[in-house]
Amino acid sequence: MSNDVVNYFLELIAIDSESKDERAMADRVKADLEALGATVEEDSIHLKTGGNAGNLHALIPGRIDKQPILFCAHLDTVKPGKGIKPRRENGRIRSDGSTVLGGDDKSGVAEIMIGIKSVLESGVDHAPIEVLFTVSEEIGLLGAKHFDKSKLRSAFGYAMDAHRVGDLVLGAPAQNSIRITIQGKEAHAGVEPENGINAIRVASEAIAAMPLGRIDYETTCNMGIIRGGTATNIVPNKVDISGEARSHNKAKLEQVCADIRRAVDSAVKRHDYPFGAAAYTWDMNTEYNSFFIPDTEPVVQLAISALNSVGLEVKTSIGGGGSDANIINAAGLPMIICGTGMNKVHTVDEDIEEEELRRGAKFVAALITHYSR
């Protein structure tokens, strides 16, 4: 295991680990954790999710008078993430344009590992260090959802999974996933279209009436996938719509979802004819709950002190996306999300500054040393 966070990051992104295919990455990181003196457990959530690796939960012993401090990152990347070929140019690392870089979230993994390593090698007296590396985060936070949170022993934690080092995300919205199937009636589009019910038309009327985009400063809604029809000469009888709604406010989330269903219900009822009627099915699930941690809380104050100690600018914000922190907070353990330097993530233009990786590792080390005082 390299002492240099940039070299270690390059080693990690050379390991393919798209969601549900994290086996090689898990094996490497597990070996590196054990080399640091950690006791590592891998769970079997892949048997439930269809992947090939479980979550890694590790504990490095420390002072018996302190609870552990928790660091979290995810091992998987989005697609396209196989055969990553990094390019180093003017202090930046980028992909060759055919894949993502994998900084989301291998920058977080690298900074956690090198930050811990530097503390251990310094010989400083430290608190126990707990690490959770999850799998399948990018496809619905599956690893964190299925992890047994009762195993966590820390007072609070840090998910290394945001952008600029120094960014502290103190809250994130809840998300409801929505799946709608609209049923129409087939007919020949040229011979007897009047005897059909066009499910695409019904769906379009419903979507046009939905509250979409940014609803207000803490609520959003999007219909992102629509599938329907089989041929241009057939009146389509079925359309599937998939979307989501997010909000930091539970009542607002419930309201926007009710408005979406009302739009569907109204559109379907307009297509009731003597020869048949449109119909629909509705499936809505809460993917994760929202959280907010005030900046006066110890988990935030420690992060601010650590950043100040290494000369980094602090910026607190409320996020718009979900992460493992939503799941861990829901289990009762306070966790904020910290920047790692990742940039343009989920695109083939993704890059990261080498200096950001170094800053991130210093930040992790500072968190441990400040907490251990």
Catalytic residues: 76, 137
d(CA 22, CA 317): 31
Cis geometry, peptide bond prior to residue 4 (ω within 30 degrees of 0): no
Structure token pair of residue 346: 């989920």
**Of 18, 3, 166, nearest in space to 106 by CA:** 18
In terms of DSSP bridges, do strands 174-183 and 291-292 run parallel, antiparallel, or are they unpaired? unpaired
User: CB atoms < 10 A from the CB of 78, how many?
Assistant: 18
Answer yes or no: are the C-beta atoms of 316 and 300 closer than 8 Å.
yes
Structure token pair of residue 12: 């990690």
> Environment class of residue 224 by beta-carbon count within 10 Å: exposed (0-12), middle (13-18) or buried (19+)?
exposed
Residue 220 CA, distance from chain mean position: 17
> Which residues sit opposite 71 in a β-bridge?
131, 158
d(CA 152, CA 136): 19
